[in-house]
Amino acid sequence: MATTYVVGSLHAKLRALQCNQGGWGFQADQQAVEPTCLSILALRHNRSPDVESALRTVESLQNSDGSWPAFMGDNPEGCWTTSIAVLTLMATRRRSERIQQGVRWLLDAKGREAHWFWRWKFQTVDTKVQFDPARYGWSWVPRTTSWVIPTAFSLIALRQVRNRSIDSTDEAIERIKIGVSMLLDRMCPGGGWNAGNGIAFGVPYAPYIDATAIALLALAGHEKAPGVQASVAWLVNWLPGCPSRYSLSWGILALAEYRGVSPEVNETLERGVKELTSLIEKAPAVDDVCTVAVCALALDAVKGDKVFEVRI
């Protein structure tokens, strides 16, 4: 099955799953920021009235402090979805004021280990989880510890912000530097990333394909770092045969960004595309919006349309 046809069918599926209010939900009719933004990114080259309606929905959900909630009607205190909303507004060239407000929130948001008390606690009392608390990123929700995926998406957003000269201040540069160091510090032994920490209670954690892939997208340009090299090698080794269309798609997105690093990356990328199109053909009725959108984004990335690009 040709990838162009597959992507077209995925776009049609997204349009069929769109809520009447303009956005997308996970599997119900409650509009949520993550599936709405991923769907907009997948459909952004076809600026139909439905996509414009979805963009207005995203803009309407922005909180007064510049952040975004997880879904419509959620707590007005923002969360990790701010990063993907900023990415979406940049990719679709929306009003810079909203983007700048979101960036300001991202720069102010920090995992709780950035606070001196929690840093002291992790260094002296709560030592069962092994990480350097001086290296912090972003959390799923405010006042909690940094996690890999929120940190990776925030780094992608801020690196794109810097590349577009929306904010290239010393503060933004330093925040990116600390976030990158946090990801490298939380890597699992041998490469790859779990959801949070690489080691806890003296036990090394196993990496996840989606977390590893999203972290690698955020770290593009750091190929010489041993941790990045090990993580690319881990992904190349574990992606083939992945039964999850969602995880396989994120893996393809990451390997498309590292294409040319090694023959193994190119071979695994080609195999991944074949496996993904086969899975889509065998199970076309999946209604998970995020999965459908990420599948489309992955197949587009192989053709050079890299919405998560962070290289200058």
* CB distance 79 to 68 below 8 Å: yes
- Higher pLDDT among residues 123 and 269, named by residue: 269
Look at the block and give the residue holding tokens 């419509």: 72
pLDDT 10s digits, 130-188: 667 678 999 999 988 899 999 999 999 999 999 999 999 999 999 999 999 999 999 99
d(Cα 281, Cα 304) in Å, to the nearest integer? 23
pLDDT of residue 73: 80
pLDDT 10s digits, 185-200: 999 999 999 998 877 7
- Higher pLDDT among residues 20 and 217, named by residue: 217
Neighbours of 176 (CB within 10 A): 19
**Per-residue pLDDT at 117 exceeds 70:** no
pLDDT 10s digits, 21-40: 899 998 667 899 999 999 99
Considering only CA atoms, which of 183, 178, 105, 100 is closest in space to residue 141?
105
Non-local (6+) Cβ contacts of 299 within 8 A are 3, 6, 7, 10, 252, 273, 276, 277
Q: How far is C-alpha 60 from the geometric centre of its chain's CA atoms?
A: 22
What ranges do the domains of the chain cover? 3-302
Helix residue spans in 61-165 (DSSP H)? 81-91, 96-108, 116-124, 148-163
Question: 3-302: which CATH topology?
Answer: Glycosyltransferase (1.50.10)
pLDDT 10s digits, 58-105: 999 999 999 999 988 887 889 999 999 999 999 999 988 999 999 999
Q: What's the N-to-C CA distance of the chain in angstroms?
A: 34
**Per-residue pLDDT at 305 exceeds 90:** yes
Whole-prediction pTM: 0.93
* CB distance 178 to 111 below 8 Å: no
